[in-house]
Amino acid sequence: AGTTLLSGGSFSQNAAGGAGNAISSGGAVSSSGSASELLVRGTAFADNAVAVGGAGACCASGGALSGFGEGLRFDVSGAEFEDNRVSSTTSFADGGAVQVFSDDAELTFTDTAFQRNKVTAADSAQSFGGAISFFSNGVDLTLVRSVFDGNQAGGDVSQGFGGAIAFFSSDNLLTVRDTAFVNQRAGGPTRTGFGGAISGGGTRLRVDMSRVLAANNAAGPGTSGGNFGGAFNLTSDGARMSFANM
């Protein structure tokens, strides 16, 4: 447990990973520990990268930020995430800008911009969340007055899930207010895309969106088995979803 504050400043051209690394994450900052808190105020994250490849390499995640540990809290305001990227030549990849693996996490992004972040996995593997991804239970993700522009999951060689955001597992809550998703892409010319802007699944998913702009997002146009949800691909047993003033 503990609190970390990032106020102002910038993180640029930092990198994590390399040949043979089993798991690499957090190109700029990695936060771990149960019930820990990361506060970000007016900080810029640009051109940070996580890349893995070679024998023994597994997973790449969180081009700028990554978080591990139960009950994490990320509270991000007035930040910019631009041109961050995650790539793997051996396995899946997730979270072009931000990746969290934490049950019961609270993730809040206010007045924050995500632009041109990208995640690309190995041939025939999957890429998740061009900007944000999480694969945990009981996560509350809240987006307020934020912009997602030109983010991408997948490409020529990998399937893409959520050009901007991808998440799976159970009992997650997605709340979005006064936020724009434009020019996102999931998948590529020959690879399947799921949710040009957002792809989410699991059980008992709750979604509450209002005053949201979704424009010029795309899944695909892959030719390897269909594409699903040009803007949103949300699949869940026992779901409750509300969309207002879209």
Q: How confident is the model at residue 20 (pLDDT cuts 50, 70, 90)?
A: very low
The answer to pTM > 0.85 is yes
Nearest CA-CA partner of 4 in 33, 24, 27? 33
- What does DSSP say about strands 165-168 and 140-144: parallel, antiparallel, or unpaired? unpaired
Q: What is the pLDDT of residue 21?
A: 40
Tokens of 127: 């890429």
pLDDT digits over 129-167, tens only? 999 999 899 999 999 999 999 999 987 767 889 999 999
Does the pLDDT of residue 73 top 50, yes or no? yes
pLDDT over 60 at 56, yes or no: no
Per-position DSSP letters for 167-225, written without gaps between them: EESSS-EEEEEEEEEES-EES-SSS-EE-SSEEEEEES-EEEEEEEEEES-EE----SS
Tokens of 179: 């936020």
Choose the most confident range, by mean pLDDT, from 52-56, 113-117, 122-126, 195-199. Answer: 113-117
* Per-residue buried b or exposed e for 37-64, using 16+ beta carbons within 10 Å of the residue's own CB: bbebebbbbbbbbbbbbeeebebbbbbb
Note whether 119 and 86 are within 8 A (CB): yes
Over the chain, what is the mean pLDDT?
Answer: 87
**What is the average per-residue pLDDT within 95-111?**
95
Q: What is the helix (H) or strand (E) element at residue 12, kind and residue range?
A: strand 10-12
Question: What is the per-residue pLDDT for 57?
Answer: 55
